[in-house]
Structure formats: C-alpha cells, structure tokens
Amino acid sequence: MMRRIRNQILQALYRRDMSVYELIDKQDASLPEFFELIQEMEREGVVRVENGKIGLTERGLKLCEDLGVKEVGDFTCKSCEGTGYTIAFEDVLKDYAEIAKDRPEAIEKYDQGFISLDGVVRRVQFLYERGDLLNSEIFVVGDDDLFSLASALTGFPKRVFVVDIDERLIDFINRKAEELGLPVEAQVYDVQQAFPDELRGKFDVFVTDPVETIPGIKLFLSRGVSTLRGEGCSGYFGLTTLEASRKKWYEIQKMIHEMGFVITDIRRKFNVYPQEEKNFFRFQDKLPIVKRLGAKVDYNWYKSCLYRIEAIKKPKPLVEGEMIIDEKVYKDEESWATPY
C-alpha cells in the first residue's frame, strides 16, 4: 500500500509545493501512516517541509522523472466538488443554512464536528435517489449536522427521530421543528445506555456519523441497526481513511456483514468538515496531527466517505444492552484528528 501512497504524494507534488494539509487530502493513507511516510521521504531527501508547506527536492524531482510522472491538471469536478452530486434541493439548502446559523457550537467533550451545509443537502439528495427518503421513518443517532431538519425540509420523510447525548442540540432541534412544523422529534439519549424498547424495529432508515474506533463504531451502528424494521431497511454513516486504516475498514466491514447487511455504496470524500468558528477545528491545537506537523490548519482536509448498507435479512445488532464507554471507545492509535 505504501508504494501506492508514495505515488499519490509524488504525483501531487510534481512541480508544485502545497500546504501539508492539502497533501493529506490528495492521498488516502491514515494519518499515522501518512506522517510516517512523509518523515521517511524527508530523511531520503525526496521532500522538504517548511512552515507547513511541502515540496519536492531536486532529488525528488529526479525521482519523479525516472518514474515517468507527468504534470496533470486537477480533474476533480468543480460543480459538485468531486461528489458526483450538484445541489438540486436549492430551496432546502437556503432554509437549512438559515437554521444552521444559530446551531450550538461543537464541543470537545462529545467529540463533535459537523459537515458542510451543501454536504448535508447532498446527503439528503443521496437518500432521495436511493428511495430511502420518500414516506420513510428515519432514525438519526447523533445529529451535529442537523441532518434531521435538512431532510424534513424536503417534505418527503414521514417522520424523523433523533437521539443525542447533547441536551443543547436536542433542545435546538425540537425548537426549530416546532417553529417550522416539521415532523422531527429529538430526545436525549446516551448510546452507552441500554437501547429503549419503544424505539426498536420502528424505522426504515438510520443515519449516523460514529466515532472511528472499533468499539465505538460497533456501538453506534448497533444502536442504529436496533431501530430497523427488517430486511430491505438501510443505514448511512460516514467513515474516513484518515482515522481508519484499511485494516480497520476490514474489521468494520466484517461487522456490517455479521449484522446482516451488504454494502451497496461507498461515496469517496462525500463529506467535508469545514473550518468554521463553531466546528471542531477550534480545538486544532489539541489534535495529534496538528501537534506533529507543527502547522496551523489552512485547508479543509478532513473528509469522510459515505457508506450505505442494506439489510438482506433480519438486522442483528452486535451490542444489545448497556455498554459503558471509556476512552477506548472514542480514541485509539489512529485517532489523530480527535482532540486529546
């Protein structure tokens, strides 16, 4: 794998210096793997890193030429930011953006962070395309993104139910739903508590953005899976390559199959976490990757893939009862973009 990542880095840097955070976005190793490789390439005299910028040395340029690297322009679609989806629900985006102005700011205690406004609307459109929005009952496990309100603004869902540990978010969502007459209900719930029986098997779709440790994602996905009615129901969640290595993806995909699901879609870099004053980049001095690089964030580098999974038999959550959270649920050796 490292040969491929090295190729991505050389291709990105050929005849162009860039922010180290932009380079992170040009490759798909985990953050620890990326950092180790950059250090190795620096020792080899292939790259130089100065003041948060990275570029090729003369030796690095020669290596590129020997490998046959050519200068290639940016071929990512500018209209859709590489997601494959332009904004069709323009009125929804406008109303949702107005709501989001007053959102509670992300707080470190709950490892919160939210994706961009147009990213949320693209996710809503993706559900619509898959037939999971129209007349559906949707369950949201944690709603930093205010997905519940954005999806309800379309007028398509029959019901959206949110659980979150943060009372500020719950109060905000319930207040906005009441003001706008939206079919959204939110209640305080800590995922480490046993799942309420009255919410089991009552929904068609679940949506969540879990923490990216193995115990954490098992817990969050299990809570979502517990809500589904049965075969044909679906789930959506975000997962990065930055804090989840290929080996971790392998373990997560095994869990998905064990719970009775197939993976129908993985949309690469579908979700962007923007640098906004209310977002988690306010804690950047506490992020291990920022500490190691010694440079302030200057690029929207934190992106995640969007998974869609679908039940091919009765869903089977891997966590049924209470699961007490300790630090291992929120952080592991790959959690380099989580505040410490």
Q: Is the distance from CB of 267 to CB of 82 less than 8 angstroms?
A: no
Domain contains 76? no
In a domain, 80, yes or no: no
Residue 279: its pLDDT value, please? 59
Domain end point (choices 17, 32, 67): 67
Q: Are residues 143 and 216 located together in one domain of the fold?
A: yes
Same domain, 124 and 262: yes
Alpha carbons within 13 A on the beta-carbon side of 298: 11
On whether both 233 and 283 belong to a single domain, the answer is yes
Give the domain CATH number at 22. Answer: 1.10.10.10
In a domain? residue 79: no
pLDDT value at residue 112: 63
- Residue 252 resides in a domain: yes
**Whether 48 and 116 share a structural domain:** no
Picking from 176, 161, 174, 249, the residue whose alpha carbon sits closest to that of residue 212 is 249
pLDDT value at residue 324: 82
Q: How far is CA 83 from the centre of its chain?
A: 13
Same-domain pairing of 60 and 187: no
pLDDT confidence of residue 72: 87
Range(s) of the domain holding residue 53: 2-67
In a domain, 281, yes or no: yes
CATH code of the domain containing 224: 3.40.50.150
Secondary-structure breakdown of the chain: helix, strand, coil percentages, each rounded to the nearest 5: 40, 15, 45
In a shared domain, residues 174 and 266: yes
Do 29 and 98 lie in one domain? The reply is no
Residue among 32, 26, 28, 3 at smallest CA distance from 14? 26
Burial class (CB in 10 A: 0-12, 13-18, 19+), 185: middle
Q: Are residues 199 and 62 in the same domain?
A: no
What confidence score (pLDDT) does residue 10 get?
97
Ranges in the chain, pLDDT < 70: 1, 107-112, 276-282, 327-329, 340
Amino acid 338: pLDDT: 82
> Is residue 32 located within the same domain as residue 161?
no
* Same domain as 116, residue 8: no
Within-domain flag for 72: no
In a domain, 187, yes or no: yes
The tens digit of pLDDT for each residue in 193-251 reads 999 999 999 999 999 999 899 999 999 999 999 999 999 999 999 999 999 999 999 99
Distance CA 340, CA 331 (A): 9
Both 40 and 103 in one domain: the answer is: no
Partners of 204 in the beta sheet? none
> How many domains in the chain?
2
| Residue whose C-alpha is closest to residue 44's, from 26, 59, 33, 34 | 59
pLDDT of residue 104: 84
Measure Cα distances from 198 to 18, 194, 195 in Å. Answer: 52, 12, 9
> Are 237 and 126 found together in one domain?
yes
Does 305 reside within a domain?
A: yes
pLDDT digits (tens, 9 = 90+) for 264-288: 999 999 999 877 666 566 678 888 9
Q: What pLDDT, on a 0 to 100 scale, did the predictor assign at position 255? A: 98
- β-pair type (18-19, 137-141): unpaired
Contacts of 328 (CB under 8 A, 6+ apart): 213, 215
pLDDT at 28: 94
Residue 166: what residue type?
D
